Amino acid sequence: MNPIKYFFKQSKYALNDFNQRIDSKGREYIKDSIRKAEIAKLSPDDSLVFEFQNKGKLIEIDDRNIQSYMISEFPQVIYPNWLYDLVNYGEPIVISQFIKPLDSQKALSGLRNRITNLSAQFYEKADKGKMHTIDLEQAIADARSIEDSIVRGVEKLYSMSMYLKLSQENTSKLIKSDKALKDLSYAKQIKLHQLVYKQKQGLETFLPNVTNAVGEEFYLTSSNVSSSLPFTTATLNDPDGIFYGITLGGEKIRFDRFSKASKNYNGIIFATSGAGKSFSAKLEAYRSLFRGINVYVIDPEGEFKTLCDYVGGTNIDINPESKTKVNPLQFFSSDTDTKEVMRTHLGVVKGLLKIWLSEDAYNRGIVSKAVNETYASKGILLDDPSTYSKKPPTISDLIKIFEKQGEEGKRIAVELLEYSHKGEMGDLYDNPSTDDVDFNSPMVVFNIQKVPDQEKQASIFYLSNFIWQKVLSNRNRKVLIIDEAHLLLKDESSANFMENLVRRGRKYNLGVISISQDVDDFLKSPQGSVIAKNADTALILAQKKQSIPSLVKAFDLSDVERDYITRLTKGQALFIKGNTHSHMFVYATPHERKLFSSNAEDLAKIDEQRKNGQ
């Protein structure tokens, strides 16, 4: 059976029953008599099975207080998508619209009647010498111009009924929302009426079988109707922004991560593998470079190398064989509030040990003591920032201090040997930093593709810290792109570090772009959820089915948006920046497409071109 027909049939059944029961007693209810199984199909979240109390001005259903409104007039001037503010209004608001085409003949005779009536009123007033006829004149002129466009076939006439519903958990919240809604409609010149003693009918206009139970309508021309559908996306067009893509309606999207309107400069990119996460991040990185924004990347797949070489950036290979070394214990900052940064740094070192050590061996007290003593043994003291630039300890130095911490310390030291030159990971971790790390270059990529998988989490952790310390030294605009960011959320200390980084970035003109394909893991983590919800931009590309519900919840997506993100193809996205939701395609030029591709052939071509100086 056609699922839509089925849906309607079911909801009719439910609603008939609903209507029958409504008038039976003072207390109105709809419940047991509806076959639960039917309801479950129709309304899996049980939203049709409720008891409610009609209180004239509002309706109480379980723990919700619901108030419905009717709109009787739109503003004089309607521009495309003018309803957007209402739809994206921060309160729990639902809108229902009923639009019916009117027969042109009937519409015309109605209009002519109206013109005759208005004209009669006008002459009556004019005869009596009354001056205030401007409203009437305007109404006559409006009606005549509509008549004209209908006669010429330019416009058709429609009847429109429009209702709003607010729902809150208690009356005091409802009163606040009610006031905010009234203020907004006043500002927007929308005539809004609370449905007094018609709340039940108001509520019915929102039920799935869509009955216009209130039945109030007003008339609009085709162009005004089309401007009043809230489904088009408002176009994001920051004048100083980078060109990011094209909306489904064909408009260009430009966005400025560092615009004054941004609440912070952070972003997240969520998608399943191969949907275009890295591609979109590269596109932003590349186009941001032209605007003088510095770009730092932690690149677990070695995907940014081609782009980095192309723009003349610094590609730093982090792997056991690489000549370039970064000492995870190194402290770099030269910022004025270095003490706090040093405290964070010591926290990161302790966090690294937590990741490395077995649960049995890890002892918070001993780790903390040993780390502090190790730095002190090199003359570096938390309380004295002038000592911070001294030569930092290495993993071997740390092990020596652990060996002095009794039996438990010795046990830790033994486990840590793996990370020193006596063990396998020494080439990766146990070295002083080499000084070929050029941070002045506009693009710096830490390529950790060849870091063994089990060490990727630790590497992303200490490298983000390293970049954090470096970025504090200037206030240039910069972005840090962390691919596979969910790895940082696996552990309490690295997750806290990341949340802190994201929170404090704005002060230093830093935007952190976290990329993840493990959307559920990301959103399940308390820190991850805070990071995602507070990010000023979210790029949601094609998803695995199971990630959709948590995304809908985290970003408060509408049903239309939920459907949309279920059907995305490569490069298509829902892009959220502040209040603007754009249905878009991340657009790259043919040349850029090769440059950003993760396809080996494309990359080889670009390398070739570069070598030939093209």
Ligand X SMILES: Nc1ncnc2c1ncn2[C@@H]1O[C@H](COP(=O)(O)OP(=O)(O)O)[C@@H](O)[C@H]1O
Among 316, 425, 586, 595, binds ligand X (CB under 6 A): 586
Measured from the CB atom, the residue of 14 and 541 that comes closer to ligand X is 541
Could you tell me which stretch among 47-55, 357-365, 426-434, 585-593 binds ligand X (CB under 6 A)? 585-593
When asked if residue 247 is in the footprint of ligand X (CB under 6 A), the reply is no
Measured from the CB atom, the residue of 278 and 405 that comes closer to Mg ion is 278
3-state secondary structure of 327: coil
Range 259-298, binding Mg ion (CB under 5 A) = 277-278
φ, ψ (nearest 5 deg) of residue 236: -85, 120
In the bound complex, what is the minimum distance in angstroms from residue 193's beta carbon to ligand X? Answer: 46
When asked if residue 271 is in the footprint of ligand X (CB under 6 A), the reply is yes
Residue in the block written with tokens 């900052």: 333
Distance CA 543, CA 275 (A): 8
In the bound complex, what is the minimum distance in angstroms from residue 517's beta carbon to Mg ion? Answer: 8
297 token code pair: 């990347």
When asked if residue 275 is in the footprint of ligand X (CB under 6 A), the reply is yes
Could you tell me which stretch among 13-21, 226-234, 424-432, 592-600 binds ligand X (CB under 6 A)? 592-600
In the bound complex, what is the minimum distance in angstroms from residue 499's beta carbon to ligand X? Answer: 23
Q: Residue 464 in contact with residue 345, Cβ under 8 Å?
A: no
Measured from the CB atom, the residue of 273 and 614 that comes closer to Mg ion is 273
Could you tell me which stretch among 63-71, 105-113, 406-414, 591-599 binds ligand X (CB under 6 A)? 591-599
3-state secondary structure of 425: coil
Measured from the CB atom, the residue of 150 and 281 that comes closer to ligand X is 281
Kindly provide the residue ranges of all beta strands, DSSP E only, lying in 424-509, ordered along the sequence.
443-447, 478-482
Distance CA 155, CA 134 (A): 26
In the bound complex, what is the minimum distance in angstroms from residue 273's beta carbon to ligand X? Answer: 4
Residues with Cβ within 8 Å of 439's Cβ and at least 6 positions away in sequence, in order, are 314, 470
When asked if residue 597 is in the footprint of ligand X (CB under 6 A), the reply is yes
Measured from the CB atom, the residue of 426 and 571 that comes closer to ligand X is 571
Among 165, 198, 277, 345, binds ligand X (CB under 6 A): 277
Distance CA 288, CA 477 (A): 10
Distance CA 390, CA 388 (A): 6
CA 108 to centroid of chain Cα atoms: 47
Burial 193-228 (b: 16+ CB within 10 A, else e): ebbeebbbbbbbbbbebebbbbebbebbbeebbebb
Q: Residue 456 in contact with residue 484, Cβ under 8 Å?
A: yes
When asked if residue 571 is in the footprint of ligand X (CB under 6 A), the reply is yes
In the bound complex, what is the minimum distance in angstroms from residue 276's beta carbon to ligand X? Answer: 3
- The listed partner (Mg ion, ligand X, none) that binds 274, CB under 5 to 8 Å by sort, is ligand X
When asked if residue 599 is in the footprint of ligand X (CB under 6 A), the reply is yes
Q: Residue 276 in contact with residue 282, Cβ under 8 Å?
A: no
Number of residues that bind Mg ion (CB under 5 A): 2
In the bound complex, what is the minimum distance in angstroms from residue 320's beta carbon to ligand X? Answer: 25
In the bound complex, what is the minimum distance in angstroms from residue 300's beta carbon to Mg ion? Answer: 9
Residue nearest to Mg ion (CB): 278
Among 90, 274, 406, 452, binds ligand X (CB under 6 A): 274
Residue in the block written with tokens 């309801």: 39
341 token code pair: 């940064």
Q: Residue 56 in contact with residue 68, Cβ under 8 Å?
A: no
Distance CA 157, CA 305 (A): 59
Number of residues that bind ligand X (CB under 6 A): 16
Distance CA 125, CA 133 (A): 7
Residues in the chain: 614
Burial 14-38 (b: 16+ CB within 10 A, else e): bbebbeebeeeeeebbbeeebeeeb
In the bound complex, what is the minimum distance in angstroms from residue 431's beta carbon to ligand X? Answer: 31
In the bound complex, what is the minimum distance in angstroms from residue 301's beta carbon to ligand X? Answer: 8
- The listed partner (Mg ion, ligand X, none) that binds 588, CB under 5 to 8 Å by sort, is ligand X
Among 399, 538, 574, 588, binds ligand X (CB under 6 A): 588
Among 278, 447, 459, 527, binds ligand X (CB under 6 A): 278
Contact positions vs ligand X (CB under 6 A): 271, 273-279, 570-571, 586, 588, 593, 597-599
Contact positions vs Mg ion (CB under 5 A): 277-278
